[in-house]
Structure 1
Amino acid sequence: MNPVFDLAAVGLLVVTTAVLGFAGIRSSRTRSDFFVASRSVGSVWNASAISGEYLSAGTFLGLAGLVLLSGAEGFWFPIGYAAGYLLVLLFVAAPLRRSGAYTIPDFVEARLESRAVRRVTSVVVLVIGWLYIVPQLHGASLALGVVADVPPWVGGVVVAVLVAGIVAAGGMRAITAVQAFQYWLKLTALLVPAVFVLVALSGGGFDVDPARVFPVESGPGALDAYATVSLLLALLLGTIGLPHVLVRFYTSPNGASARRTTVMVIVLIGAFYAVSSTMGLIARVVAPDLAVPGVADTVVLALPSRVFPGLVGELLTSLLVAGAFAAFLATSSGIVVSLAGVVSQDVFGGGVRSFRVSAVLCTAVPLAVALLSEPAGLVASVGLVFVFAASTLSPVLLLGVWWPRLTARGAVAGMVVGAVSCGAALLAGGALRGAGGWAVLVTQPAAWTIPLTTAVIVAVSLLDRGGAPVRVERYLARLHTPDA
């Protein structure tokens, strides 16, 4: 494989990203520009940007690898990822925009009138964000290592430096154009090779055996009911607790625009998941020998050269490499800008200068973790973040929007219990992965950690003698009053 085209594609992507990002710096002057792009991002542009940051390394590379490894079972991930936005649309998109907050801790503090619950929420948001960034940096190192003979740390460092520079320089306004562009690049980068390969397969030369693409033993009848339900709960509710997803709704002009944006996001990411899953099915025909944990995540990059030896295969591979790096950059920049807003307000005072310092710090921490840790499966790593978010932040946000009797003590107790129980289960699950029987309770804990967190929040809130804030009815009326 000739790495010249691949490195050129990465270089061109980096230059284009830098140009788009730094072009937004000229209009990024105020605190509102940096935190929420002055709440002026239209529905189509915002939907493209949200889709760009949501479709991460786990989707671009890992989903096809998961379908290669698991067959039909792997399709639960795109179903859960896309359907999670239905819950965002129905329950939180418009109310969060109408809250007028800049960050999730802003909303929680205003809703519960407590600095203590804000601090706990900020810690949870940072943990979720950093856990999400690490797989992106691992994926960047993996992708660059496949196509070029470079040290394994290079890809992660390139992504981290570029993300920190653009976010620190221009904030939310600067990365909006970057993320929107990168969504369409990612879709094109997968769609074009998929069409080429499908046309080649239809012309013969490969033995397409339906039993190998969809083995009977991996069909719906073979699914573990508890594990499947638990996974779907984590993916559906985890979307509501992702800070980099929710903060983008604050950039919409109003609540109605936030709802329109969410509908468009469902369409955009649904189209992408269809193409990405198709690449996984193609891999079961073209590259079944790569169905090895740790190796399967690279199958998307290997497919074109398997079908088109020579120049065509190299050009298609370079397009995929550019799309993969777009995934790492878009998701990482969205997370960093959401975390920088939290750290800036809670630690440094909330100004533009403090936002820039926070952006660098929020990139440096996960980069250090990525350099010191070994990469796991990309989809599995991202899936763990969804479980943690669904077990900690999501119940607080849903109850905060819809239940007047929620109290600060209830929210704090729920997040602590959710974080401890989910964290302990995930640590134990890492040691028991692959074991059968009762081990599924810790390898897929969402089915009991989410109800546990919710029950603790409700019980403590009902027993709290201080009760809900006095002005809760007025605040909830603000969240649920339709826009003029």
Structure 2
Amino acid sequence: MGATLSGLAVLLVCVVTLGLSVFALRLSRRTSDFYVAGRTVSPARNAAAIGGEYLSAASFLGVAGLIYDQGVDALWYPIGYTVGYVVLLVLVAAPLRRSGAYTLPDFAEARLESRAVRHLCAALVVLIGWLYLIPQFQGAGFTLRLVTGAPAWLGGLIVLLVVVGSVAAGGMRSITLAQAVQYWLKLTALAVPAGIILAVWWTTRGPAPAVSSEWLQPFTGAEPGDHHLYRTFSLILALALGTTGLPHVVVRYYTNPDGSGARRTTVRVLALIGIFYVFTLVFGVLGRAYLPRLEEGMRHDTVVLRLPAEVVSGLSAEVLTAALVGGAFAAFLSTSSGLAVAVTGVLNQDVVRPLLARVTRGDHSEVTGFRFAAVLSAVIPYAVSQFFPEVGLAAFVTLAFVVAASTFFPLLALGVWWPRLSVQGATAGLLTGAVLAVGALAATVLTDTPTGWPGALLEHPAAWTVPTAALVAVGVSRATPHGIPRTARRTLVRLHTPEGVTG
């Protein structure tokens, strides 16, 4: 019975997602509809859509699992995720919208007038998007396997098919409404079970959480030489600055009508994701009360799905679990859709469309290319996810944040606020950040991580990769003034001038 209810919950979420996408399809007619939803999305709907795509598997399942495992130190994850939008609000939200770009590579080319920088940004968008997509497919696989016994590949395949169908149908226009609805689905699916579990624990005077003193103390690693203060600082930096460089987040700001709308969107996003993370605490803390120890081989990410059966029994437990499974799949679908749109736009503009232009003529080549790119953007990371070693959802997603913070954050911050950024400086900064971040992360995944400072620096590299990339970009720019675009100051004036101001 429990497996049937969970399967029905997954089916319902998939049907709702596809139904909303098809409903919005009738509005997708122009190129801008596919890339930026015609730039007509209101701040309220855009904020809900951002909440839908930003609160991924790492937020729905991973954060509670980290709180369960690491205690109060894991609270830095939701704090970092939320602070990232404050950075966006202050530094780049309105200027990004005023740039008139469709994608991050569009912005880079418009700001620096360089096709080389554009192509480099396109490659990084694809890399970050696929790094973020892999854990969504893996999370869908182990979630469906846990509750129904289905093979691990099936959950990811369901997400793949729904995402490709939604994105290919009408691009950003199709998924915006679906993502806005999915945010409220996720919030309800998490909040209602959390409230019921908390009420049962409170009224029955349930067991106290079985935790160690380290679980309750901040900055305490498993070993004295873990340098946990540094690790925490570097993690916060990666999450806070990486948000600014996430392609599926940045592209959302191009859908607002103007820069003021972009700022209002960000304020609403802060409230929506802050409310969501409150309920993850319930599962992390009460998981320690009802599941003081997980059986060997069980992932901490499964605590959210396992907890209802430990607190209530019978049909009640099955219904609560099914609701959580449905919410988890809403997270997988909404985040994967946003990532797929961001990657699709870049693949179409920089890879697929140039190829199609050689063999296709007519007004519909743009849409044809977009839909073909949508298939590529999701199929490739799904295939990789079937062979990639399983890593905790929140930890895996953090890899994408580190790369984004080390590459796109310096580019956006300097590109929006510093007129002396040169083409050579931007290129050097992007390459430095990418090589350092990817190299450090590859060393931790593919080799035995050393202990002490070397291990801390490799596992949490943002604290040194981000400033290094920024300093390289500044230093090379100062050494190559001839590479500064002639229109740089004019571009910055346009980025910072409110739309209502007329000359």
TM-score bracket for the superposition, by shorter chain length: over 0.9
Question: How big is each residue's C-alpha offset from its partner over 1:299-330, in whole Å with a ceiling of 9 and x where there is no partner?
Answer: 10111111111000100000000000000000
Structural mapping, 1:211-360, within 5 Å: 212-213=210-211, 215-216=213-214, 218-220=216-218, 222=220, 224-290=228-294, 295-349=299-353, 351-360=366-375
Question: How big is each residue's C-alpha offset from its partner over 1:8-55, in whole Å with a ceiling of 9 and x where there is no partner?
Answer: 111111111111111111111110110000000001100000000000
Q: Give TM-score, length-normalised by structure 2.
A: 0.93
Q: CA RMSD in A?
A: 1.5
Contact 2:6/2:147 (<8 A) preserved = yes
What is the Cα deviation at residue 205 of structure 1? 5.2
The 1-side partners of 2:352 and 2:399 are apart by: 30
Q: What is the aligned length?
A: 482
Contact 1:171/1:337 (<8 A) preserved = yes
Contact 1:62/1:379 (<8 A) preserved = yes
What corresponds to 1:361 in structure 2? 376
What is the Cα deviation at residue 429 of structure 1? 2.4
The 1-side partners of 2:37 and 2:462 are apart by: 34
What is the Cα deviation at residue 467 of structure 1? 3.3
What is the Cα deviation at residue 291 of structure 1? 7.8
Alpha-carbon distance change, 293 to 131 in structure 1, aligned in 2, over 3 angstroms: farther
The 1-side partners of 2:317 and 2:168 are apart by: 38
The 2-side partners of 1:151 and 1:432 are apart by: 30
Alpha-carbon distance change, 441 to 329 in structure 1, aligned in 2, over 3 angstroms: same
What is the Cα deviation at residue 221 of structure 1? 5.2
Letter paired with 2:474: V
What corresponds to 1:99 in structure 2? 99
Q: Which moved more, 1:407-416 or 1:263-272?
A: 407-416
Alpha-carbon distance change, 221 to 425 in structure 1, aligned in 2, over 3 angstroms: closer
Contact 1:293/1:377 (<8 A) preserved = no
What is the Cα deviation at residue 420 of structure 1? 1.0
What corresponds to 2:176 in structure 1? 176
Contact 2:2/2:319 (<8 A) preserved = no
SS at match of 1:278: helix
SS at match of 1:163: helix
What is the Cα deviation at residue 437 of structure 1? 3.9
What corresponds to 1:424 in structure 2? 439
Letter paired with 2:23: A
Gaps of at least 5 residues in structure 2 are: 222-227, 354-364
What corresponds to 1:82 in structure 2? 82
**Aligned equivalent of 1:459, options 456, 461, 475:** 475
Question: How big is each residue's C-alpha offset from its partner over 1:254-310, in whole Å with a ceiling of 9 and x where there is no partner?
Answer: 000000000000000011011112211111111122286751111101111111110
What corresponds to 1:404 in structure 2? 419
Contact 1:432/1:443 (<8 A) preserved = no
What is the Cα deviation at residue 222 of structure 1? 2.5
The 2-side partners of 1:474 and 1:292 are apart by: 61
What is the Cα deviation at residue 465 of structure 1? 4.4
What corresponds to 1:471 in structure 2? 487
The 2-side partners of 1:52 and 1:217 are apart by: 30
What is the Cα deviation at residue 434 of structure 1? 7.8
Letter paired with 1:480: H
What corresponds to 2:358 in structure 1? none
1:445 and 2:461 matched: yes
Q: Give TM-score, length-normalised by structure 1.
A: 0.97
What is the Cα deviation at residue 126 of structure 1? 0.5
The 1-side partners of 2:215 and 2:305 are apart by: 28
What corresponds to 1:377 in structure 2? 392
